[in-house]
């Protein structure tokens, strides 16, 4: 009997060690197995191999989720300090579960410490058709007292290639998402943020990684990754002495040791990635298709085209000015008027950015009849009405600050630090959460018919001390973001489909953790048409066009047509004084709005092909193609060109080689005619293999063209 029991144990052990776990999409395979020590190791990550199952013959054996305090010399994914002070963790395989829902497969892998009652569950959700994998982690324990977490990556992945090139997206206010590529050498490269609320202000939470050779738009093996978290993040890229790359992604643990209570579950945000052998363009299209279906609120619903009052009035307005702008909104032909900052506060009127923030009642001098009156007047003019809010912030010169100084993040025994004359409310406090939700709810309830919110957030966290958290200050950065999500959950429970723009002094919040609550985001306060090409180009690597708000303004020295053509490649809007338009400018803009409405489905939901990069030539060319491949739009921008610039033919992509396409220039300025001579139909095969000349007549700096291709 003892021999039979021993044999059964041996058989069970062998079965556990031999177990392989595959997380797969149509093109990606991620394979884990359990080694002889009972630990989970990553066996393979790459393109699907043929025949099926060939990836199980790869013998990589790097531990999947590296723990601190054991024998690994790599930067750990997780570090935990137990009740007895032991700072180590060993994780052994304890089981797996797989469920399917629609096109997505969810795999959970449970790991346990054999000595301490700690459980770590690795979660993976694989979206088959979209070739996207989401990975996140849960940590829990049943020790008698809280344990201390000092590192808690969402995921860790391991790659084995000859060379690695990392592309990061960095910048600052009005200079967002500059793309910079570098070769990774031995050692550690970190991309991170410690800004908390406006976390993406300088470093964006996404990256591209090329393997073996530098990937371009159409060729090369590439991994693209991002973190769904609206707070401090960290990506670590460690190349070891064997030239293997280890990537950890998750919340930045900086100043964020977390005391995890017994039976409490610590859930990390999702690390979302795709891997392709067909370059950057394929990775972007994977993200766009997935985001529209799974990550952005109402991804396939129509978006509103709006006119913002900021450049026309700033904070200097009254009811008469605003109702006059309603008529300009209607004349322009857009859907909605958006009232920006400056409409609120009475004791400390919001006439500049140094007062009133936090006091969210309509200013009686500017708006004696309140917001409801404006909603009604906008409706009479045939347009919708939207409003600007910044509910997480407060000016020291406000009634809110005077009444609730304990609601503000502020350091004891230190002078207060101001950024844009404001401070951050302590959203970890449930009373503040109720207040912030109440700002939104009261504004909408008191003025039924408000159709849109621009939700702003103009500063990062300094004064990093929460009166509410008391002796748990290291929870602040994490709990703030979680508290924001709690508020947004409440907003969406009552107002599930209200369009809301995510704004943060420009592109300070651009992540899929927030976009589940928002319909679009404001990529930058910089609306200069030329500089916006680079900004919108950068964001296009991860976000679909209908999430990237692009407004026509007076920034920049380009023509109105150029600025309009740039805005039309994403989600068109206006922030301009329409009354200053000449007759032809007004006519052009009215027709542009109509044209955009007609082609918006192709731009919003079509496949994007970045045909020419502004980083490589003094021009940029973008192409959108609908799913049926019978309709395409080309945006062609000539930038500051030099006399020695030579521009090749542009080969189109994504068309049906067997279809015949007619090409027509659209969005022409009144009184002009196209200088292109596309007077015949062209096969998709010819357009993709030979290309077309996109220099109409002669080349002029800061000119643009939009071309429409229709299959016949």
Q: Output the six-digit token pair for 95.
A: 């089981």
Measured CA to CA, the distance from residue 230 to residue 480 in angstroms comes to: 10
Please state the residue numbers annotated as binding site for substrate: 173, 340-341, 420, 454-458, 503, 525
User: Is-contact 164 184, C-beta < 8 A?
Assistant: yes
DSSP E strands in 48-177: the ranges are 62-63, 78-81, 92-101, 104-112, 118-127, 132-141, 147-160, 164-170
Closest C-alpha among 692, 695, 694 to residue 683 = 692
Pairing status of strand 660-666 against strand 703-711: antiparallel
Residues serving a catalytic function are 456, 525
Count of residues making up the chain: 712
Please state the residue numbers annotated as binding site: 173, 340-341, 420, 454-458, 503, 525
What residues have CB less than 8 Å from 271, skipping those under 6 apart? 134, 135, 136, 154, 155, 225, 226, 227, 228, 249, 250
Cβ atoms < 10 Å from Cβ of 493: 9
User: Terminal CA-to-CA distance of the chain, rounded, Å?
Assistant: 79
Measured CA to CA, the distance from residue 711 to residue 709 in angstroms comes to: 7
Number of helices (H), then strands (E), in the chain: 13, 36
User: Is-contact 447 370, C-beta < 8 A?
Assistant: yes
Q: Output the six-digit token pair for 306.
A: 């709006």
- Residue 332: which H helix or E strand, with range? helix 319-332
Q: 514 has which bridge partners?
A: none
Q: Output the six-digit token pair for 30.
A: 């991620």
DSSP E strands in 3-77: the ranges are 20-24, 28-34, 40-47, 62-63
The burial of 234, by beta-carbon neighbours within 10 Å (0-12 exposed, 13-18 middle, 19 or more buried), is given as buried
Measured CA to CA, the distance from residue 398 to residue 358 in angstroms comes to: 7
Q: Output the six-digit token pair for 474.
A: 């290291």
Q: 223 has which bridge partners?
A: 209, 275
Measured CA to CA, the distance from residue 622 to residue 610 in angstroms comes to: 5
Measured CA to CA, the distance from residue 307 to residue 313 in angstroms comes to: 12
Cβ atoms < 10 Å from Cβ of 430: 11
Cβ atoms < 10 Å from Cβ of 258: 23
User: Is-contact 289 130, C-beta < 8 A?
Assistant: yes
Measured CA to CA, the distance from residue 182 to residue 164 in angstroms comes to: 9
């Amino acid at each position: 009997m003892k021999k039979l029991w021993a044999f059964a144990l041996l058989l069970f052990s062998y079965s556990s060690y031999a177990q392989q776990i595959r997380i797969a999409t149509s093109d990606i395979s991620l394979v884990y197995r359990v080694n002889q020590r009972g630990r989970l190791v990553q066996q393979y990550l790459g393109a699907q191999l043929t025949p099926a199952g060939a990836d199980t013959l790869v013998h990589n054996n790097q531990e999947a989720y590296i723990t601190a305090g054991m024998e690994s010399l790599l930067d750990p994914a997780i570090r935990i300090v137990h009740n007895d002070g032991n700072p180590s963790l060993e994780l052994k395989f304890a089981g797996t579960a797989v469920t399917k829902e629609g096109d997505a497969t969810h795999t959970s892998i449970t790991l346990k410490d054999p000595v301490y009652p700690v459980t770590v569950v690795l979660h993976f959700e694989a979206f088959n058709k979209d070739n996207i994998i989401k990975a996140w982690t849960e940590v829990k324990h049943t020790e008698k007292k809280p344990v201390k977490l000092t590192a808690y990556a969402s995921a860790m992945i391991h790659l084995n290639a000859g060379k690695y090139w990392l592309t990061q997206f960095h910048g600052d206010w009005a200079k967002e998402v500059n793309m910079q590529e570098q070769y990774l050498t031995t050692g550690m490269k970190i991309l991170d943020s410690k800004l908390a609320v406006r976390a993406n202000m300088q470093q964006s939470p996404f990256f591209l990684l090329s393997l073996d050779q530098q990937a371009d738009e159409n060729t090369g093996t590439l991994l693209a990754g991002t973190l769904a978290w609206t707070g401090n993040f960290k990506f670590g890229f460690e190349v070891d002495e064997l030239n293997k790359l280890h990537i950890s992604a998750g919340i930045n643990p900086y100043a964020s040791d977390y005391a995890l209570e017994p039976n409490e579950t610590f859930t990390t945000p999702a690390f979302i990635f795709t891997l392709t052998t067909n370059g950057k363009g394929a990775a972007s299209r994977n993200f766009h298709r997935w985001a529209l279906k799974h990550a952005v609120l109402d991804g396939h619903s129509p978006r509103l085209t709006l006119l913002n009052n900021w450049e026309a009035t700033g904070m200097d307005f009254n009811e008469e000015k605003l109702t006059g702008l309603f008529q300009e909104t209607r004349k322009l032909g857009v859907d909605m008027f958006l009232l920006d900052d400056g409409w609120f506060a009475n004791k400390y009127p919001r006439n500049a950015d140094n007062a009133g923030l936090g006091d969210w009642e309509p200013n009686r001098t500017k708006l004696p009849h309140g917001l409801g009156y404006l909603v009604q007047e906008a409706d009479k003019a045939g347009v919708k009405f939207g409003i600007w809010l910044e509910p997480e912030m407060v000016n020291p010169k406000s009634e809110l600050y005077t009444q609730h100084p304990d609601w503000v993040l502020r350091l004891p025994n230190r002078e207060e630090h101001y950024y844009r004359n404001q401070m951050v409310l302590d959203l970890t406090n449930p009373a503040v959460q109720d207040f912030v939700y109440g700002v939104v709810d009261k504004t909408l309830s008191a003025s039924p018919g408000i159709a849109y919110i621009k939700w702003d957030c103009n500063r990062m966290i300094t004064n990093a001390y929460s009166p509410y958290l008391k002796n748990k200050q290291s929870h602040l950065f994490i709990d703030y973001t979680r508290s924001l999500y709690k508020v947004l959950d409440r907003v969406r429970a009552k107002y599930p489909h209200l369009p809301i723009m995510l704004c943060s002094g420009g592109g300070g919040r651009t992540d899929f953790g927030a976009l589940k609550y928002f319909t679009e985001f404001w990529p930058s306060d910089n609306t200069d048409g030329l500089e916006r090409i680079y900004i919108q180009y950068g964001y296009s690597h991860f976000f679909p066009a209908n999430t990237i708000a692009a407004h026509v303004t007076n920034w920049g020295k380009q023509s109105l047509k150029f600025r309009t053509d740039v805005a039309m490649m994403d989600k068109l809007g206006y922030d301009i004084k329409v009354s200053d338009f000449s007759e032809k400018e007004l006519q052009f803009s009215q027709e542009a709005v109509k044209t955009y409405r007609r082609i918006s489905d192709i731009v919003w939901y079509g496949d994007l092909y970045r045909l020419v990069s502004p980083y490589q030539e003094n021009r940029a060319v973008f192409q959108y193609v609908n799913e049926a491949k019978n309709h395409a739009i080309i945006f062609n921008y000539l930038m500051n060109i030099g006399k020695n610039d030579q521009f090749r033919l542009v080969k189109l992509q994504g068309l049906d080689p067997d279809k015949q396409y007619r090409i027509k220039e659209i969005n022409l300025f009144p009184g002009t005619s196209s200088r292109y001579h596309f007077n015949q139909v062209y096969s998709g095969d010819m357009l993709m293999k030979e290309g077309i000349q996109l220099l109409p007549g002669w080349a002029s700096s800061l000119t643009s063209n939009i071309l429409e291709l229709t299959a016949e």
